[in-house]
A and B are shown apart, each in its own frame.
Chain A
Amino acid sequence: MDDAAARSTQSFRIETAVGSPRATAVAVLIILLALMLLPTFAGRNLIQDLIFLFYMLALAQCWNLLAGYAGLISVGQQAFVGLGGYLLFALTLIAGLNPLLAILLAGLVSALIALPTALIVFRLRGAYFAIGTWVVAEVYRLVFAQVKPLGGGTGTSLTPSVTSSVPGIEWVKTLLDVRAPAARDIVSYWVALALLAGTLAAVYFILRSRRGLALGAIRDHEAAAAGLGVDIYRIKLAVYVATAAMTGMIGALIYLQKARISPDAAFSVLDWTAYVIFIVVIGGIGTMEGPVIGAIVFYLLQRYLADFGASYLILLGTLGIVIMLFAPRGLWGLVADRYDLTLFPTRRRLIIRDREDG
């Protein structure tokens, strides 16, 4: 059979593509370095805006992995933002730990708490899962409102001794010749940059790994993925716990920067889930690029239109609906479809070669 003959003359291998790995690595390093050095000349307003952009983008990447890939449409991620924030306050104010260490621990504890939480909410499907996650977040909010040492329902503030105990502040003050509040912002900016870079790298490497293959399959057709041997429950659980850890660390950073926490703000579904969903949906769900575009658009809207109050929210809602109707794959989808672009290549290509020896 000539079919069989043809088979023996070709060899196949896989290439998980980055066009030119070295050029990409250099570009990534240059961007990182530029962002790291930005505070040496940027004003304080820009630094504060970028902290906001960075943590919203990091949150969006987490939610995108959760909802866009693993199909876990959670509307309760504020549970982990608030948990991380409150853990930071507890660990610094009560336990007297260093804030940076507290951020790491907040991630760890969030993961530990996500595990039993998952065992409850994973019993629910579809819309019930979404509502379940929200209810869990509300329970967390009510619980923290009872913790008197952390201010109960009205909340509390970080003491100046805590906010100034972040390593590097003195160093920034002398090196860049700025005052303490500006120096604190700059250190927070670096932490936010590190968390964002860490989140992007984590999501990217998950998507490139064999887990990523399964996540792409689950995103496109969950039942078919299960039928091909993918253990759906296990992967979803892993994603839920991992994103909880990242979200908890981001929450800790957010509240280190804000220096004031209250249950209503820390467990706000609007701030930490609705806006995040907006970012992912307008940017393009189920891609890594989508949340990047969405976060930038959201930042610009927030920056220039937030003063309009209620009409700003109506505008956000309208924009979200228009994009869902006319560009269901988001703004990135519009671009990617036309130019076959990717910023975070995860494609596995089959490379075909004729065998030399036949």
Chain B
Amino acid sequence: MLLEVAGLKKSFGSIVVADDLDLVVAPGEAVGIIGPNGAGKTTLFNLIAGGLAPTAGYFRFDGRDFTGVPLQGRCRAGIGRTHQIPQPFEKLTVFENLLVGAVYGRRKTEAAVAQSCGEILERLGLLKRANTLAGSLTLLERKRLEMARALATAPKLLLLDEIAGGLTEGECSELVATIREIRQTGVAILWIEHVVHALLAVIDRLVVLNFGRKIADGVPKQVMQLPEVHQIYMGIEA
């Protein structure tokens, strides 16, 4: 298994936001995560890739225990992530944002990564903005920059946190196409998304979280039919 989360638990004071979570992702697999607001989805990403220390449990990546590994080590080992609220380096250009990930995440020289950074920007439609300051991007562009920057680190596992919100129908299918392309290069994907139809167009497996607990994990179509999932999702997705 590429990622193996076992018995992971996190509480902030008395609120438990991750409760005995088990989760696996195979190399090249695409797994979706859904769940109501506050279910603990982003927290799970922060435990895996954000330096948030779990209260109990552990996770393994690429066969190694990663629970106590510092942030930069996780990235270099191949975990890339996007942030639900984009965190661009505002006074660097879009290209420089990618360079940071490529140079430090892959431990290469700037000259050696320029070509691949350019290709990633092109794939995500940011090439025209390459030399503009990231601080001047629109929210949608910032979300794309999040993804471009994560890709620049050449991840084996890409964690996507709500990147389809606010897109038009056309933009959404473009995004789905892009993510499919990324999959084809062998990158495994763990994708949190409220826009379920976009998610279903990509993923092999669907996980449902509620109050920090995993309440379903399986074939997407079947998971969506489960009564408890149905109940949670009433009104969220038509």
Tell whether A21 is near chain B: CB-to-CB under 8 Å. no
With contacts A227-B81, A229-B153 taken as known, whether A220 is within 8 angstroms of B91 at the C-beta atoms is: yes
Q: Would you list 11 pairs from A and B whose C-beta atoms are within 8 A, ordered by A residue? A: A7-B122, A213-B103, A217-B100, A220-B91, A223-B87, A225-B89, A226-B72, A228-B100, A229-B75, A229-B106, A348-B96
B92 touches A231 (CB 8 A): no
Residues of A contacting B89 with CB < 8 Å?
216-217, 219-221, 224-225
A350 touches B95 (CB 8 A): yes
Which residues of A are at the interface with B, using a C-beta cutoff of 8 A? Answer: 1, 3, 6-7, 10-14, 16, 210, 213-214, 216-217, 219-221, 223-232, 286, 347-350, 352
A213 touches B96 (CB 8 A): yes
Which residue of A10, A226, A230, A286 is within 8 Å of B51 (Cβ)? Answer: A226
Tell whether B149 is near chain A: CB-to-CB under 8 Å. yes
Which residues of B are at the interface with A, using a C-beta cutoff of 8 A? Answer: 49-51, 70-72, 74-76, 81, 83, 87-93, 95-97, 99-101, 103-107, 109-111, 114-115, 117-119, 121-123, 127, 130-131, 149, 153, 181
A185 to B45, CA, bound (A): 61
A347 to B70, CA, bound (A): 29
A210 to B122, CA, bound (A): 23
A82 to B76, CA, bound (A): 41
With contacts A3-B123, A12-B114 taken as known, whether A348 is within 8 angstroms of B100 at the C-beta atoms is: no
A14 touches B100 (CB 8 A): no
Residues of A contacting B96 with CB < 8 Å?
213, 216, 347-348
B121 touches A13 (CB 8 A): no
A3 to B125, CA, bound (A): 10
Q: What 9 A-B pairs come out closest when comparing CB atoms?
A: A12-B118, A229-B104, A229-B105, A220-B89, A14-B114, A229-B75, A224-B87, A350-B95, A226-B71
A226 to B120, CA, bound (A): 21
With contacts A12-B115, A227-B49 taken as known, whether A348 is within 8 angstroms of B72 at the C-beta atoms is: no
A78 to B6, CA, bound (A): 50
Which residue of B110, B114, B181 is within 8 Å of A210 (Cβ)? Answer: B110
Residues of A contacting B74 with CB < 8 Å?
227
A217 to B72, CA, bound (A): 14
Binding site secondary structure of chain B? helix
B91 touches A224 (CB 8 A): no
A223 to B92, CA, bound (A): 15
Nearest CB in chain A: distance from B130 CB, A: 4
Nearest CB in chain B: distance from A217 CB, A: 5
A348 touches B110 (CB 8 A): yes
A214 touches B104 (CB 8 A): yes
With contacts A14-B110, A229-B153, A230-B72 taken as known, whether A348 is within 8 angstroms of B99 at the C-beta atoms is: yes
Residues of B contacting A223 with CB < 8 Å?
50-51, 87
A194 to B75, CA, bound (A): 41
- Determine the residue in chain B with the shortest Cβ distance to A16: B110
With contacts A10-B118, A221-B88 taken as known, whether A231 is within 8 angstroms of B72 at the C-beta atoms is: yes
A133 to B170, CA, bound (A): 55
- Determine the residue in chain B with the shortest Cβ distance to A234: B72
Nearest CB in chain A: distance from B85 CB, A: 11
A226 to B70, CA, bound (A): 9
B117 touches A12 (CB 8 A): yes
A181 to B153, CA, bound (A): 59
Which residue of B51, B76, B99 is within 8 Å of A213 (Cβ)? Answer: B99
Nearest CB in chain B: distance from A339 CB, A: 15
Nearest CB in chain A: distance from B136 CB, A: 11
A216 to B93, CA, bound (A): 10
Which residue of B76, B92, B107, B121 is within 8 Å of A217 (Cβ)? Answer: B92
Nearest CB in chain B: distance from A336 CB, A: 11
Residues of A contacting B149 with CB < 8 Å?
228
- Determine the residue in chain B with the shortest Cβ distance to A231: B72
- Determine the residue in chain A with the shortest Cβ distance to B101: A228
Which residue of B76, B91, B111 is within 8 Å of A216 (Cβ)? Answer: B91
Which residue of B70, B93, B106 is within 8 Å of A348 (Cβ)? Answer: B93
